[in-house]
């Protein structure tokens, strides 16, 4: 019997004219990215796909947002939950720029300290963290010096 031709691996989501496509998100972080970008209250076209097959990540997520470009702050936040993500800037249906998310050495005002007696949880100040290990992610609070691993890291 002739083998059925495997369906083409094509993503059935609409192309966007202008906006951002974030690819190579670890599957379990897809909705965290959506949360970071506050997509639940976004009014333009948004496509969120998760558990897509990926040769690098096994399963990956993908987020398309029409009419939006990321701020530096959003970049930093995404680099925490999806350190291998690629950000595609779309203009006029063309990928104008492909940026690999990169974890900076320090992260300002993105992470909330997990230490309840840290000064940052008790006084109105911006948080600051040092990346002490990239994979798996480990960060250290500039103020209380407490180290946190990936599971404990909360975004502001």
Partner 1 sequence: MEFKGRDVISIYDFSKQELLYIIRIAKQIKLNPQKYSGILRGKVMAAMFFEPSTRTRLSFSSSMEQLGGQVIGFSNSNVTSMQKGESLWDTVKMTENYSDVIVIRHPLEGSARLAAEASEVPVINGGDGSNQHPTQTMLDIFTINESKGKLENLHVGFLGDLKYGRTVHSLVVALSHFNPVFYFIAPEGLKMPEHYLAELRQKGIKYYESSNLEPSLSRMDILYVTRIQKERFAEPLEYQKYKGVYKIDNSALKNAKETLKIMHPLPRVDEISKEVDSTEHALYFQQAANGIPIRKTLLSLVLGKLK
Contact positions toward partner 1, by CB under 8 A?
A: 115, 117-120, 122-125, 141-147
β-bridge mates for residue 141, sequence order? 129
- Closest CB to partner 1 among residues 42, 143: 143
Q: How far is the CB of 147 from partner 1 (least distance, A)?
A: 6
Q: How far is the CB of 136 from partner 1 (least distance, A)?
A: 13
Q: How far is the CB of 146 from partner 1 (least distance, A)?
A: 7
Q: Which two tokens stand for residue 149?
A: 């691993």
- Closest CB to partner 1 among residues 56, 117: 117
Contact assessment for residue 118 and residue 146, using Cβ atoms and an 8 Å cutoff: yes
- Closest CB to partner 1 among residues 31, 143: 143
Contact assessment for residue 39 and residue 63, using Cβ atoms and an 8 Å cutoff: yes
Q: Tokens 């007696």, residue?
A: 117
**Cα distances (Å, whole numbers) of residue 5 to 2, 27, 134:** 9, 27, 41
């Amino acid at each position: 019997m002739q083998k059925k031709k495997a369906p083409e691996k094509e993503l059935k989501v609409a192309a966007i004219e202008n906006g951002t496509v974030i690819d190579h998100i670890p599957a379990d972080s897809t909705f965290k990215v959506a949360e970071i970008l506050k997509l639940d209250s976004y009014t333009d076209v948004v496509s969120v796909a998760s558990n897509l097959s990926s040769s690098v990540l096994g399963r990956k997520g993908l987020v398309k947002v029409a009419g939006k470009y990321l701020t530096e702050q959003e970049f930093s936040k995404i680099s925490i939950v999806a350190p291998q993500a690629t950000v595609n800037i779309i203009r006029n249906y063309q990928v104008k720029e492909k940026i690999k998310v990169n974890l900076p050495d320090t992260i300002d005002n993105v992470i909330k300290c997990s230490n309840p007696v840290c000064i940052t949880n008790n006084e109105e100040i911006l948080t600051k963290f040092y990346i002490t290990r990239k994979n798996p992610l480990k960060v250290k609070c500039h103020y209380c010096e407490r180290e946190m691993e990936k599971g404990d890291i909360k975004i502001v």
